[in-house]
Amino acid sequence: MSLSEKLNFEKSPLYLIDGSAFFYRGFHAYPDLKRSDGFPTNALYIVLRVLLKVLKEEKPEYLVFMLDGKGKNFRHELFGDYKAQRPPMPDDLRVQVEPLKEAVRALGVPLIVSEGEEADDCIASLTARFKSERPVVILGADKDLKQCLDDNVFMWDPAGRAEKITSLADFKEDTGLNPDQWADFQALIGDSADNIPGVPGIGKVTASKLMAKYPTLEEIRDNFKFLQPNIKKKMDGYLDTIFTYRQLTRLRTNSCSNLELADLKISQVEKADVIAYLNEYEFRSMIRDVNGAFPDSNGSSPAKDLSSMGSEKETIKSAPAAKAKKANSNQFSLFGDAAPAPVASKLEFKKIQSVSDLPDFSGKDVGLVRDGKDFYVGVDGDEWLCRVAAADLAKKLQTAKRIATADVKSIFRSDSAWRKISLSRWFDLSLSAYLLNPEDRNYQWDRLRSMLFAGDELPDAVDEVHPDAQGMAALALMHVLAPRIESAGLATLVSELEIPLIPVLADMEEAGISIDLTSFAEFLKEVSNRIQELTKVIHETAEEDFNIRSSQQMSNILFEKLGLKPSGKTDKGALSTANAVLEKLVGQHEIITDILEYRKMEKLRSTYLEPLPKLVGPDGRIHTNFNQLATATGRLSSSGPNLQNIPIRGDMGKRMRACFTAGSGLRLAAADYSQVELRVLAHFSGDPTLISAFENDEDIHSRTAALLFDKETSEITREERSNAKTINFGLIYGMGPQKLSRELGISLNEAKDFIAKYFEKLGVLRDFYDSVVEQGRDKGYVTTLSGRRRLLPELHSTNPQVISQARRQAINTVIQGSAADIIKMAMIKVADNSAIAHLGGRLILQIHDELLVEGPEESIEEIGSLLQEDMQLVTSLAVPLKVDLGLGKNWAQAH
């Protein structure tokens, strides 16, 4: 499994390699490795292993290899003894530098050699610049790079004995610090590797305790008189020097400013050149990895060299791929492991700079692949490289029969001209692959393209396609996927729901939502003050200062000093202090409640209140990305930032929503489906109790509680209603007796009895749940309201746990997936409502079952009414859809 799959990335990551670190590591790890003529190859060996591993397993789109340049940098000017103890580069290592650069370039990887600064500064700068738009993975183990960790930034060391992945959560758990405190921490303890002295006598333990109370060097300096006498004595005379030490260890984030994302893109390679290089340095064992790393590379020139080709304005027919040997099976698997592409002669095509040189596309299927500002177009067996204005090409393609491309939304976002092409002409390859197998998780174009040539037999649609021809590959992939979409009964879902949704999502992303920076700042101040108060209370209760963010120190306090009974362990065998564990200890000691509140406040601060204002664009609005291919149930997700995870419950949730506002002179209308999943359940199951309750607009949870507790609805207590609500929603998500017992604080036997009574009173539901599972077992999949499918082969497993999980997924998909269908239908209907548009309203946000529309203050009431009506009438169920509507200046008022 690739790292992208392990971490469930939704966009292609940017990989940044600390090349100098691996170069030195290889030199010292394999001191005797030499070529037969005595030339040292030890450093080259480890770097090539790392690069080929990443290229083969990750199939990266963006990857950069960083090397430190020669000479001194600003840190040497700041502190003359910086790295003064380091010996010069050994001769045996120095002679490998140029061969290293040659290897990196041969593999198509962009190479950056930093001058006047360190490679780490460039890594930190690129991370800071691009982490808001895509995941960033830093390959290296240098402790200074930990400063870069963030929600969307990870460190990965694939060269160690045990492959190590470090996330922001891992860093916080291990150190009790935030990454922005790491330079302060290093300044206190020093760094012998860089010859940074630190404060004598201040080690990791003392520094951790000190920073738990005073999180920055500034606070330590300002509170010097309050320090413990022994620490004050050690710090005396270093209050100014430690700031210099911090400058030495703190990474810059304004370096490499001339680099754009396009500069960091992997180039195509000459595979023969790579193999020749490996032979030259006698790394023949690595040759077998080359096909895996470049399955669809057959001697293509690097992409950056395409501009040097002739300027003739004709195209040359693609040389056909050699037909693969026939296999016994006639099945083509898009989702299996990719095999090496068929060997073919070199693809030759010419670039064109005017659409007048292109053929007439009228009534033809066309493949379209965008590569920066360039476009690959495949039609009638020809491959064209078009360096033309998007508007000109879009106009030319308006008459095409179908346009196959990997990501229609990104095309729409790149230039508004593409919107003028009828939606019915677009065929989204990634979307189609997702709908056929929503569990696959990776629908990037490079992966789909490589899989096109997978297996021992190529389908007829692929047989005449050159492996290097991107436009023709897109066209061929459509000819493979389109009949599968049709035969799976997904064509209507595509044409009436998923494709029409694409421009709606693109519009919402462009619109964004306004935020009140003053409210954010005030809320942050309140939360920070509360964190300080809780820190003081927790330390007083524990009768000692300790790092509340450190799981190890927390464990010592709770289970050793206070003697609380542990109830779980981490994967590494340590006593767990996770929230789920602590929640079981509530009531056993007063400190537990304070710790849980502290964590809640800390999450608000670190996840929302500090980072979100930094993501505001020049227009004063935050722009999220809506992900259409992220969940197996069909629900939308958002990222960069994730606005669907904004806290909504309790006073803190209300305060958070209040920070999201309408623009000047505008107001918000928030419309939220009421209990839509339970209404879907009533529709599919036909349960008379549920149908009757919804038809009569009764409180469904009180009605259920009345059945469970044999009472009149008017006699139901708040606790009984809450218990009924838990089981109503819990069973939709496959909640078993163990979880129900934890949720309700009852014994396992009581939970079993509760569930049994629930199904006794609402017997039709049990039959419905069983029928869903039976359908999944018979057909191999279950379907939602709109015909969306989820494959569930695990229902035939012999493992009871696997079967149980698959049963939950089956029920959840039908109910939650159908609710997702409904909200998508509503989004399209609202976006297409000309009356709302005429009044100045526009859809700006979708959060689960809620839609947010922004419009002029004077017409927001009418807009809200139209919004509510559209959502309630978007489809017909066995029970009415109900929508709660609110209006206001901010999201809290409107919700």
Least-confidence region, from 142-151, 273-282, 572-581:
572-581
Tokens at 712, concatenated: 């009149």
R_g (Cα) of the chain, nearest Å: 30
Q: Is the pLDDT of residue 160 over 70?
A: no
Task: Please check whether residue 631 is in contact with residue 809, taking contact to mean a CB–CB distance below 8 angstroms.
Answer: no
Average pLDDT, the chain: 85
C-alpha span between 255 and 252 (Å, rounded): 7
Q: What is the pLDDT of residues 433-442, one digit of tens each?
A: 999 989 877 8
pLDDT for res 329: 28
- Structural element, H or E, at residue 626: strand 625-627
CATH number for the domain that contains residue 596: 1.20.1060.10
Question: Do 98 and 125 sit in the same domain of this protein?
Answer: yes
As a whole-number percent, the residues of the chain with pLDDT over 70 amount to 91
One domain for residues 414 and 560: no
Cα–Cα dist 370/445, whole Å: 10
List the CATH number of the domain containing 45.
3.40.50.1010
Whether residue 49 has pLDDT greater than 70? yes
Phi, psi for residue 633 in degrees, rounded to 5: -90, -10
**Long-range Cβ pairs for the range 567-570 (8 Å, 24+):** none
What average pLDDT does this structure show over 460-476?
80
Amino acid (one-letter) located at 555: S
In a domain, 882, yes or no: yes
Residues in the chain: 895
pLDDT band per the 50, 70, 90 thresholds, residue 755: confident
Query: In this structure, are 542 and 640 located in the same domain?
Result: no
Whether residue 507 is contained in a domain is answered as no
CATH of the domain at 422: 3.30.420
d(CA 91, CA 95): 6
> Do 451 and 583 lie in a common domain?
no
- In the sheet that holds 365-371, the strands lie side by side as 351-352, 382-386, 374-379, 365-371, 402-405, 426-428
Residue 882: what pLDDT?
A: 95
Residue 631 sits in the same domain as residue 598: no
397 with 539, same domain: the answer is: no
CA distances from 730 to 117, 739, 743, 745, 808 (A): 55, 9, 10, 14, 11
Query: What is d(CA 307, CA 350) in angstroms, rounded to the nearest whole number?
Result: 10
What band does 300 get if pLDDT is binned at 50, 70 and 90?
very low
Residue 350: what pLDDT? Answer: 64
State the pLDDT at residue 257: 79
Taking alpha carbons only, the member of 244, 251, 243 closest to residue 126 is: 251
Does 148 lie in the same domain as 71?
yes
Ranges assigned E (strand) in 817-872: 842-847, 850-856
Give the per-residue pLDDT at 347.
Answer: 62
Give the highest mean pLDDT range of 21-30, 50-59, 867-876.
867-876
Q: What is the pLDDT of residue 872?
A: 97
- For 286-300, 558-572, 574-588, 876-890, which range has the lowest pLDDT when averaged over its residues? 286-300
Domain span at residue 864?
A: 623-687+787-895
Cβ neighbours around 640 below 10 Å, total: 21
Core vs surface per residue 662-688: b (16+ CB within 10 A) or e: bbeebbbbbbbbbbbbbbbbbbbbebe
Question: Is 483 part of any domain?
Answer: no
Report how many domains make up the chain: 4
Looking at mean pLDDT, say which of 148-152, 221-225, 314-318, 702-706 comes out highest: 148-152
Domain boundary among 587, 617, 647: 617
For residue range 696-723, what is the model confidence (pLDDT) as tens digits? Answer: 998 889 888 888 888 888 888 988 888 8
What pairs with residue 328 in β-bridges? none
683 and 809, same domain (yes or no): yes
Mean pLDDT for the stretch of residues 534-547: 92
Is 574 contained in some domain? Answer: yes
More confident residue, 385 or 314: 385
Choose between 796 and 227: higher pLDDT.
227
Residue-level pLDDT at 820: 96
Q: State yes or no: pLDDT of 298 exceeds 70.
A: no
Average pLDDT over every residue of 829-839? 97
pTM for the whole thing?
Answer: 0.64
> Has residue 405 been placed in a domain?
yes
**Any domain includes 122:** yes
Do 549 and 631 fall within a single domain? Answer: no
Question: Do residues 447 and 558 share a domain?
Answer: no
Angle at 565 between CA 562 and CA 568, to 5 degrees: 125
- Looking at the domain assignment, is residue 287 inside a domain? no
| pLDDT (tens digit per residue) in 801-810 | 788 888 889 9
For residues 38-58, average pLDDT: 89
Residues 425 and 345 reside in one and the same domain: yes
Cα dist from 715 to 298, 703, 707, 727, whole Å: 76, 11, 12, 19
Q: What is the mean pLDDT of residues 875-885?
A: 95
Cα distances (Å, whole numbers) of residue 577 to 223, 253, 556, 559: 31, 34, 10, 10
Say whether pLDDT at 326 is over 50.
no
Residue 303 has pLDDT above 60, yes or no: no
**pLDDT band, very low/low/confident/very high, at 729 (cuts 50, 70, 90):** confident
Segment 758-791, tens digit of pLDDT: 888 888 888 898 899 998 988 888 999 999 999 8
Question: In this structure, is residue 50 part of a structural domain?
Answer: yes
Mean pLDDT across 152-168: 82
Q: Provide the CATH number for the domain around residue 657.
A: 3.30.70.370
- Cα-Cα end-to-end distance for the chain: 42
Check residues 294 and 187 and name the one with the higher pLDDT. 187
Confidence of residue 296 (pLDDT cuts 50, 70, 90): low
* Residue 207 backbone dihedrals phi, psi, to 5 degrees: -65, -40
Measured between alpha carbons, how far is 54 from 15 in angstroms, rounded to an integer? 9
397 & 427 share domain:
yes
Tens of pLDDT along 405-431? 999 999 999 999 999 999 999 999 999
Confidence of residue 301 (pLDDT cuts 50, 70, 90): very low
